[in-house]
């Protein structure tokens, strides 16, 4: 049984003076339509919205199904910040025994487990025998619809 998902890493791209995409500041309603007169148009940079620390931020594309219960699906793009301290219940990208994986951290005292969010995958207990590094914390997920 596969215990890890493959990740493809990407770096943020320099935008070279890009003003960002158009942002409609209307609060899109999921109920009744809002009158068209109630919005104003501004520009928004997704870098400014999604990246807190550019030097420590990477993107990775998920390949696998181990985190579907957390909303991380195959081919989603993860925003990963290496400057955030790893703590219990955070979703982390980890290097485990030669492979990268994304899992939820479970920390109790000095014990660490990597918990998938899919019952078809086992919980991984980290031991001294493992080559293990918490590489970064997932801060956002970008999906195609």
Q: How far apart are CA 99 and CA 63, in angstroms?
A: 13
Catalytic option among 4, 13, 34, 66: 66
Q: How far apart are CA 12 and CA 59, in angstroms?
A: 7
> Which residues make beta-bridge pairs with 103?
92
> Which residues make beta-bridge pairs with 21?
44
Q: What's 73's DSSP letter? A: -
Q: What's 18's DSSP letter? A: -
Provide the 10 A C-beta neighbour count for residue 7: 21
29 is catalytic: no
Q: How far apart are CA 72 and CA 31, in angstroms?
A: 26
Catalytic option among 13, 29, 63, 103: 103
125 is catalytic: no
Positions marked catalytic: 66, 103
């Amino acid at each position: 049984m596969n215990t890890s998902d493959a990740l493809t890493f990407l770096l943020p791209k320099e935008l070279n003076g890009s003003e960002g995409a158009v942002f409609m500041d209307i609060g899109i309603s999921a109920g009744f339509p809002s009158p068209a007169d109630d919005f104003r148009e501004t520009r928004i940079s997704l870098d400014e919205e999604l990246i807190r620390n550019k030097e420590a931020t990477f993107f990775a594309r998920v390949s696998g199904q181990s985190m579907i219960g957390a909303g991380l699906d195959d081919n989603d793009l993860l925003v990963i910040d290496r400057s955030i301290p790893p703590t219990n219940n955070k979703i982390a990208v980890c290097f485990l025994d030669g492979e990268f994986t994304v899992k939820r951290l479970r920390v109790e005292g000095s014990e660490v487990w990597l918990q998938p969010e899919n019952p078809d995958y086992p919980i991984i207990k980290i031991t001294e025998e493992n080559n293990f590094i918490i590489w970064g914390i997932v801060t956002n997920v970008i999906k195609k619809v």
